[in-house]
Amino acid sequence: MKVAVVGCGALGSFYGAKLCRAGHEVHFLLRSDYDTVCARGVTIHSVDGNFHVQPICVRVPEAIGLSDLVLIGLKTTANHEFSRLLPPLVGQGTLVVTLQNGLGNEEQLAALLGPDNIMGGLCFVCLNRVEPGLIVHSAHGKIVLGEFQRPPLARTARLAEVVRQAGVTCVVSENLAAAHWEKLVWNIPFNGLGVAGAGGYESVLLGVLSAKTELGPCLPTDALLRDPRWEQLARDLMCEVVTVARAKGFAIPNTVVEEQIARTRVMSDYKASTLLDFERGLPLEMESMFMEPLRQARATGVAAPRLAALCTVLAALETRNVNRVPMSG
C-alpha cells in the first residue's frame, strides 16, 4: 500500500514504521523533524524488539499525492490543519484512518472529505518520542479499528489484516463510537489526573485551582495508582465515563474498570501524552478528550461531578501554563 502518515509524533511514527518495515511504501509528512528523519530514518526502541526504517520524507502533502491509506497521528489541537494537509492525499478510494484521542475527530474528517472512507483506529499503547526520529515503546500496542457510523465492511477486515501482518495486534470493532467511550475510560483519568496532579489533590477534588496554588510535577501512572486517594479518584472518573456511555446506549462491559487498572499497573512510571504536552508548555487536547465527553454527559442527563471538576482544573492549569517557561522533557 501507499501510506501517508500525517502527524509523525510518537503514534504516527511507531505505526508508520511498522508498516514501512512490512514493505509498504510509507511517506512521512514532516515539519521540524524533517532534516533529522531524512538523514537518519526512524528508530524504534521497543519491548518487542528494536528496529530501524527509512520512510520517504516530505515537507508538503503535494509531494506524496493520492494515497491508498492516510494515517492521522496529529494532536487534536491541530485538527484545523485538516483542510490544508489532507485533500492532496485523498482520492475516491483512499482510506482515512484517524489514530487520535477523544471524540469528534471522525466527524471533522467526514465534514471535509465525506463520510464514506473514514475510519478510526484506537491505539492502546505506551509510547514516547524522546527525540526526532527516536520512539520508545514500553508496553502494549493494540489497535481497535472501526468504521465511522457503520458496521465493519470487508475492507475493514482487509486493513486489519494488513496491520496484523505489520506486527501489530489489531481487532475490528462492531461499533466505533462505543470503542471510543471504552478508551475514554482510561484516557480521561490517566491523562487528566496526571496533569491535574500538578495542582494538587484538593484542587481536583473540589474543582477549584487557586491563583496562589504552587504547581508541582505531573503524576505518571504509577504515582496515581500508588496513592489510594488518587486511585480512588481515577476509579470514580472511570465509573462516571462508563455510566455516560451506557446512558448513550453503549454496552461497556462491567469488567472494564478492573481490566484498565490492571493494564495500567504494568506501565510503571509512564507519562501519557497529555502530561508531556503540559510539561512542554503545549496546548492540551481539552476539547476532544475532556470537554466533549462532559457535554455529552450533560446531554444525557448523567451527573458527572468528578469529570466536571477535572475539566475546570485542567482549563485553569492550561491558562496558568502558558505564562510559565516550558519545562524540558
Mean pLDDT (whole number) for 152-163: 98
Helix orientation angle between 256-265 and 176-196, rounded to the nearest 10 degrees: 50
Based on the fold, state whether residues 129 and 238 are members of the same structural domain. Answer: no
Based on the fold, state whether residues 22 and 163 are members of the same structural domain. Answer: yes
Based on the fold, state whether residues 160 and 282 are members of the same structural domain. Answer: no
Give the position of cell 514500553.
138
Distance of CA 288 to the CA centre of its chain: 10
- By annotation, the residues acting in catalysis are 183
How many domains does the chain contain in total?
2
Mean pLDDT (whole number) for 17-29: 98
- Identify the domain boundary among 146, 174, 202: 174
| 8 Å CB contact between 304 and 294 | yes
Based on the fold, state whether residues 261 and 220 are members of the same structural domain. Answer: yes
Q: Is residue 7 part of a domain?
A: yes
For residue 214, the model assigns a pLDDT of 86
| 42-46/51-53 β-pairing | antiparallel
Q: Is residue 327 part of a domain?
A: no
Based on the fold, state whether residues 204 and 140 are members of the same structural domain. Answer: no
CB within 8 Å of 199: residues ≥ 6 apart:
209, 213, 215, 216, 313, 316, 317
Based on the fold, state whether residues 112 and 202 are members of the same structural domain. Answer: no
Q: Is residue 159 part of a domain?
A: yes
CATH code where residue 144 lies: 3.40.50.720
Question: Binning pLDDT at 50, 70 and 90, where does residue 295 land?
Answer: very high
Position 329 pLDDT exceeds 70:
no
Angle at 240 between CA 235 and CA 242, to 5 degrees: 95
Determine which of 147-161, 173-187, 209-223, 279-293 has the lowest per-residue pLDDT on average: 209-223
Based on the fold, state whether residues 254 and 229 are members of the same structural domain. Answer: yes
What one-character-per-residue DSSP string does 120-167 give?
Answer: EEEEEEEEEEEETTEEEEEEEEEEEEEETTS---HHHHHHHHHHHHTT
Per-residue model confidence as pLDDT tens digits over 270-281: 998 899 999 999
Mean pLDDT (whole number) for 147-167: 98
Dist. CA 295–CA 104, nearest whole Å: 12
Based on the fold, state whether residues 233 and 263 are members of the same structural domain. Answer: yes
Q: Is residue 326 part of a domain?
A: no
For residue 210, the model assigns a pLDDT of 83
- Identify the domain boundary among 120, 151, 174: 174
Give the position of cell 465515563.
241
Position 256 pLDDT exceeds 50:
yes
Based on the fold, state whether residues 288 and 269 are members of the same structural domain. Answer: yes
- Identify the domain boundary among 174, 208, 229: 174
Question: Binning pLDDT at 50, 70 and 90, where does residue 324 land?
Answer: low
Based on the fold, state whether residues 157 and 93 are members of the same structural domain. Answer: yes
Q: Is residue 187 part of a domain?
A: yes
For residue 68, the model assigns a pLDDT of 98
Q: Is residue 18 part of a domain?
A: yes
Dist. CA 324–CA 238, nearest whole Å: 31
Give the predicted TM-score (pTM) of the model.
Answer: 0.93
Based on the fold, state whether residues 7 and 57 are members of the same structural domain. Answer: yes
Q: Is residue 20 part of a domain?
A: yes
The range of the structural domain enclosing residue 296 comes to: 179-321
The helix (H) or strand (E) run that includes residue 236 is helix 228-247
CATH code where residue 304 lies: 1.10.1040.10
Position 76 pLDDT exceeds 90:
yes
For residue 327, the model assigns a pLDDT of 40
Position 322 pLDDT exceeds 70:
no
For residue 326, the model assigns a pLDDT of 44
Mean pLDDT (whole number) for 1-30: 98
For residue 100, the model assigns a pLDDT of 97
For residue 323, the model assigns a pLDDT of 57
For residue 113, the model assigns a pLDDT of 98
For residue 320, the model assigns a pLDDT of 86
Based on the fold, state whether residues 168 and 225 are members of the same structural domain. Answer: no
Q: Is residue 185 part of a domain?
A: yes
